[in-house]
Amino acid sequence: MDKKMTRKEYMQWSQKEAPKTRKGKNMLMAFLIGGTICTIAQIINSFLLSAGMVQEDAGTVTTLIMIFLGAFLTGLNVYDDIGRIGGAGAAIPVTGFANSIVSPAMEYKKEGYVMGVGARMFLIAGPVLVYGIVASIICGILYYLFA
């Protein structure tokens, strides 16, 4: 005969059965993966500066290269493995944003380029873009009015 668990018994049972998190390992891997991504970006930026590019242009080109690398590695099914290992260390840099745009597009490619790739590409990134654009418009208006 089944016995009903009390709330306290259920909490104890669920804590015992839940998989243990490895916070230390997760933080270390996020630091290492995120640090590696940022180090690669810094190497690219330093190379562009040593080639005679102006700082602002070098930063822009570095960002574009990192977005391309994130999208390219996602297309090769490599970035998801990097993200699985690095967690937030892979998700937070701009390469993670590129991954969040390309992943849904690849997943829905079978539905066609317009209704699949085009419609689903901004599934995750769309709200970020919308709120970012709206916030920049509001900040621009406030700056114009009060500065």
Averaged pLDDT, 32-47: 97
pLDDT tens per residue, range 117-133: 666 666 666 777 778 78
3-state helix/strand/coil string of the chain = CCCCCCHHHHHHHHHHHCCCCCHHHHHHHHHHHHHHHHHHHHHHHHHHHHCCCCHHHHHHHHHHHHHHHHHHHHHCCCHHHHHHHHCHHHHCCHHHHHHHHHHHHHHCHHHCHHHHHHHHCCCCHHHHHHHHHHHHHHHHHHHHHHC
pLDDT tens per residue, range 68-98: 999 999 989 899 999 999 999 998 889 988 8
Averaged pLDDT, 93-115: 77
pTM greater than the 0.75 cutoff: no
